[in-house]
Amino acid sequence: MTAKLQVTDRVLLDFANEVGDSGPVAIQGNRTRWELGGPASAGTRLVSAPTGIVDYVPDEMTVTVRCGTTVAELHHALAEKGQRTGLPERGGTVGGALAAGENSLHMLGRGRVREAALQLRYVSDDGKVVTGGGPTVKNVTGFDLPRLMVGSLGTLGLLCEAILRTNPIPACTRWLRSETIDPFAVHGTVLRPSALLWDGSSTWIELEDHPAAVDAEQARLAAIADVEQVDGPPVFPEHRWSVPPATLRSTEQFGDGPWIASIGVGTAWASNAQPVTPVDRGVAARAARVKEHVDHRGRLNPGRTPGVR
Amino acid sequence: MAGFINSVKRKLNLAPGASSGDGDPVVTELREALSPDRVRYDGAERSLLSRDASVFDGGVAGPVCFPITTAEVQAIMKIALKHQRNIVPRGAGTGLAGGAIPLGAPIVVAVTKMTEIIEVDLDNRIAWVEPGVVNLDLTRHLHRSGFHFAPDPSSQQVCTIGGNVANNSGGPHCLAYGVTNAHVQALEVVLPSGEVVMLGGLEAEPAGLDLRGAFVGSEGTLGITTRIAVTITPDPPAVKTLLLSFETVRDAANTVSQIIAAGIVPAALEVMDQRITVAVENYVNAGYPRDAGAVLLAEVDGLAESIEIDAEKIAQIGHANSAIDVRTAADEAERAALWKGRKTAFGAVAQIAPDYYLHDTVVPRSQLADVLEKIYAIADRHDLLVMNVFHAGDGNLHPLLVFDGREEGILDRVHAAGAEIVRVSLDAGGVLSGEHGIGVEKQAYMDEVFTADDLAHQNRLRQAFDPGCRTNPGKVIPSGHSCADIQALRQVPTGVWA
């Protein structure tokens, strides 16, 4: 009997052979987040995931893509059928976006990266292609390895193929800015903004829906403050922060210098780096145990530690 | 499965009042750690908690504990570790895959007395709850706050949020809002080692591996959750519920597929065939047509300006697929009646036969119509009655085999038909379960889906949490791949709990 998820794609099997079963190995995409979690150890052999869109079924709202494909290329193909994914588009690859696990600026409207991955294939420490999850949007078949892989920086397996959930692109996208609005009030006024940004004085609001609904939301905002239409979001400071959304009211935490906070999400970008908060000891111990069980020789992406900024 | 469990039960002579547990050091220590009245060892309690809502005919429960604090759950775990006894966590026991069935006379930890809604934090849009909080009770608690808890399995009036976490439960509205995993931000968990850890967090991107995500849906095999931070979702300002009637299930299924293809993601898309529709009408008089071959319950929510457009488009697609009638609920009372019909569908079958076996598979939406025809043919071939009520938008099928268990040999036919239903779903490119989980029901199929390497990796995750495989042993991963030898669980060690 052949298992339904047995890998037959020669491209993936060749990649597994390239990874092999011995010696330290790290995976590189477009190096847009290369320093995340610490750089790969010196002397580590580098490999790159295969590329290409394998299967796209717009009616199922799923796409099968090899992880070396850029998010931009994927989104370009999906846009032809009026769809997109929740992955952030900033020059990197699908595998890089999944391994980093950082959410899109538009997370409120498009969902978290960890929810976009339905099925993931990765090469394990012993050079095998392993499949976790399944091809359908709804699935509770066994342990949820895809959730574990997202944000793991390739330390548990080298991502090579993903089945991602796609979403329709709304008919209208509009960015608004206000100098007078309380951003926290916006979160209660607008039902589902796709993004809501605040720099301490200006608020940027991204609305996505049918044009009539976007008009209505804009009118609701105009009733409580002055709003103007703008081309898009502001330019972001360098350092990414991650905090509970309620704490964004305490803007002094960002220190001197510019910052932009994603209200309702808890992501922020500031000119100062976020102070390092050690991961809870019990959680770190469990994460170390997972790593030990999945890659006991520590050959996958040595030098990187998920959670270290 | 039922056969061996029955034989163990007979062997144990599991009759009410069979034993008090006095003299057993584990029972004594558990009673000291909790209180005597919350560690039960009477036959009635053990018998009651030896099964769940599945057709699997019970397991064998050891002492049954009802902790009320994290510290008590921790104490139970430590006692179990000290004596190397197995643990089976349990919510309301509404699971349909046998996930809560105790195998090998373990300590059963029922979280049903941990029912506090600890805090509603509107700034972070979360609620901290204990695992025994009933799903619908949280939404009722949030009434008038403008928020609700989105996962809404059909059993939501009785199932617990702890159970939802274990099974990664869905429900009709997860089409738009996502399953439980998308609504869990943090979990306080007691590990099999007795340690208490907080997985996940309220930050936008909690640091480190997503152990939270791995824990959700692990069917109670990685530990016991004692506090859960769940996302609370703003109530939509407007909702429209449409009832579309069709001559055939195929027309209804095609409509569903085309709605999604048109770029609409409704809040829910539920299909019911004529057999179940008539049963529901006889049961609660929900207002469904009795003469339609199938009905589609479609709900859109969001801004009023938006849902008008989507509802109209859905109606157009329905008409293009030969809808007999398209009706929009005129008011909240009519909408509530339509949903009451859908959510009481499984109760309605009791008037037809005393037993049912509810399956749960997922197929690509485009395959819905073909797979359904095969399911009707399978039931006919085994001389069984099948009804179909399902989350069509997700391709999540729930074939309901209705039968009278007193009929000689019928359970064998039910299982044989069920196996064929699973296989046609897999052959259509589907998966084993959409929301019920694997439990003991579908272990045997895991080898048909995953390779040995895939299962080995799932097992590595399991062992990283529970190296002794003492927490809900014998579930999910099939024998031969599991760290626990399932065969061994068929034997109850001499002198234990008997």
Quote the CA–CA distance of A213 and B85 in Å, as a whole number: 58
Task: With respect to residue B436, please indicate whether it lies within any of the assigned structural domains.
Answer: no
Structural domain range at position B259: 238-347
Cross-chain residue pair B460–A137, CB shorter than 8 Å: no
H helices of B87-238, in order, are 135-141, 161-167, 174-177, 211-215
Does residue B483 carry a pLDDT above 60?
no
In this structure, are B358 and B342 located in the same domain? no
CATH number at residue B99: 3.30.43.10
Residue B445 placed within a domain: no
What is the CATH number for B130?
A: 3.30.465.10
pLDDT at position A280: 85
Which residue among B124, B396, B464 places its CB closest to the CB of A290?
A: B464
Q: What does pTM read for this prediction?
A: 0.94
Res. A167: pLDDT tops 90 = yes
Higher pLDDT: B319 or B22? It is B319
Query: Which of the four pLDDT bands, split at 50, 70 and 90, describes residue A13?
Result: very high
Antiparallel, parallel or unpaired: β A117-123 and A172-178: unpaired
Looking at every residue in chain B, the average pLDDT score rounds to 91
Nearest to A283 among B198, B218, B261 (CB): B198
The conformation of residue B331, written as its DSSP 8-state character, comes to S
Cα→Cα distances B354→B95, B239, B398, B436, Å: 18, 36, 18, 21
The answer on B343 and B369 residing in a single domain is no
Single out the residue of B299, B177, B176, B301 nearest to residue B238, CA to CA.
B301
CA atoms within 13 Å, Cβ hemisphere of B261:
13
pLDDT for position A276? 86
**Portion of chain A with pLDDT greater than 90, in percent:** 88
Is A148 in Cβ contact with B209 (below 8 Å)?
yes
**pLDDT tens string A36-93:** 998 889 999 999 999 999 999 998 999 999 999 999 999 999 999 999 999 999 999 9
Is residue B123 located within the same domain as residue B228? yes
pLDDT higher than threshold 60 for residue B4? no
B121 has which bridge partners?
Answer: B126
The residue of B177, B205, B424 whose CB has the most chain A CBs within 10 angstroms, and thus the best one to mutate to test that interface, is B205
| Closest chain A residue by Cα to residue B198 | A283
The pLDDT score that the predictor gives to residue B489 is 54
Instruction: Quote the pLDDT of residue B3.
Output: 47
pLDDT beyond 60 at A224: yes
B273 and B305 fall within a common domain: yes
Query: Do B305 and B326 fall into the same domain?
Result: yes
Q: Quick: pLDDT tens for B404-453.
A: 989 999 999 999 999 999 999 999 999 999 999 999 999 999 999 999 99
Q: Specify the CATH number for the domain of residue B373.
A: 3.30.70.2740
d(CA B95, CA B438): 10
Q: Which of B155, B164, B180, B153 is nearest to B220 (CA)?
A: B164
In the chain, the amino acid numbered B87 is I
Nearest CB partner across the interface for B204, out of A216, A266, A293: A266
Higher pLDDT: B109 or B440? It is B109
Are residues B96 and B60 both part of a single domain? yes
Tokens 């979360």 — which residue?
B126
Instruction: Give the number of beta-carbon pairs within 8 Å between A and B.
Output: 262
Q: With contacts defined as CB-CB under 8 Å, which chain A residues touch B438?
A: 140-142
Q: What is the pLDDT of residue B479?
A: 72
Mutate to test the interface with B, among A84, A102, A143 (most CBs of B within 10 A): A143
Question: Can you give the pLDDT at residue A307?
Answer: 82
Same domain, B360 and B417: yes
The pLDDT value given to residue B125: 96
In the predicted model, what is the mean pLDDT of residues A136-154? 94
Of the candidates A136, A145, A308, which has its C-beta nearest B461's C-beta? A145
Same domain, B87 and B6: yes
Q: How far apart are CA B156 and CA B164, in angstroms?
A: 9
- List phi, psi (to 5°) of A270: -140, 160
In eight-state DSSP terms, residue B37 is G
- B430, closest residue in chain A (CA to CA): A136
Which residues have a Cβ under 8 Å from the Cβ of A276 and sit 6 or more positions away?
A308, A309
Give yes or no: residues B211 and B144 share one domain. Answer: yes
Instruction: Report yes or no on B443 lying in a domain.
Output: no
B314 and B280 share one domain: yes
CATH number, domain of B306, equals: 3.30.70.2190
In which band, very low, low, confident or very high, does the pLDDT at A247 lie, cut at 50, 70 and 90?
very high
List chain A residues with CB under 8 Å of B449. Answer: 3-5, 134, 141-142
> What CA–CA distance (Å, rounded) separates A164 from A56?
10
Determine the pLDDT at residue B57.
73
In a domain, B481, yes or no: yes
Q: Is residue B65 part of a domain?
A: yes
Same domain, B188 and B280: no
d(CA A79, CA A165): 14
Tell whether B329 and B364 lie within a shared domain: no
pLDDT digits (tens, 9 = 90+) for B340-374: 999 888 888 888 899 899 999 999 999 999 999 99
DSSP H or E stretch at residue B276: helix B274-284
d(CA B4, CA A300): 44
Q: Indicate whether A113 pLDDT > 60.
A: yes
Query: What is the C-alpha separation between A95 and A120, in angstroms, rounded?
Result: 10
**Alpha helices in B321-451, H assignment, sequence order:** 332-343, 345-348, 368-381, 410-427, 443-449
The last residue of a domain, from among B190, B213, B234: B234
Per-residue confidence (pLDDT) for residue B481, from 0 to 100: 66
User: Using a CB-CB distance cutoff of 8 angstroms, which residues of chain A are in contact with residue B309?
Assistant: 210, 212
For residue B104, the model assigns a pLDDT of: 87
Asked whether residue B432 is domain-assigned, the answer is no
> Is the model's pLDDT at B7 over the cut of 70?
no
**Chain B residue closest in CA terms to A137:** B394
Is there a contact between A237 and A271 (Cβ–Cβ < 8 Å)?
A: yes
Give the domain-ending residue among B347, B370, B401: B347
Give the integer Cα–Cα distance in Å for B157 and B151.
12
pLDDT in tens, B61-105: 999 999 999 999 999 999 999 999 999 999 999 999 999 999 989
Single residue among B294, B313, B347 that ends a domain in this structure = B347
Report, as an integer, the average pLDDT of B301-329: 97
Degrees, nearest 5: CA angle B269-B272-B273: 145
A142 CB neighbours in chain B (<8 A) are 438, 446, 449-450, 455, 458, 476-477
The pLDDT value recorded for residue A279 is 82
Percent of chain B having pLDDT more than 90?
81
Indicate the residue of A3, A140, A210 with minimum beta-carbon distance to B306.
A210
User: Are the Cβ atoms of B170 and A138 closer than 8 angstroms?
Assistant: yes
Q: Does a structural domain hold residue B437?
A: no
Q: What's the total number of domains in chain B?
A: 4
Distance from CA of A250 to the nearest CA of B (A): 13
- Is residue B411 in a domain? yes
**Cβ atoms within 10 Å, residue A76:** 12
- Give the whole-angstrom CA distance, residue A142 versus residue B456: 12
Q: Which residues of A touch B167 (CB under 8 A)?
A: 140
Cβ neighbour number for residue B83 with a 10 Å cutoff: 14
- Region B282-309: mean pLDDT is 95
Q: Where are the alpha helices (DSSP H) in chain A?
A: 10-19, 71-79, 94-100, 107-110, 113-116, 145-149, 183-189, 211-222, 281-294
Asked if the Cβ–Cβ distance from B436 to A58 is below 8 Å, we say no
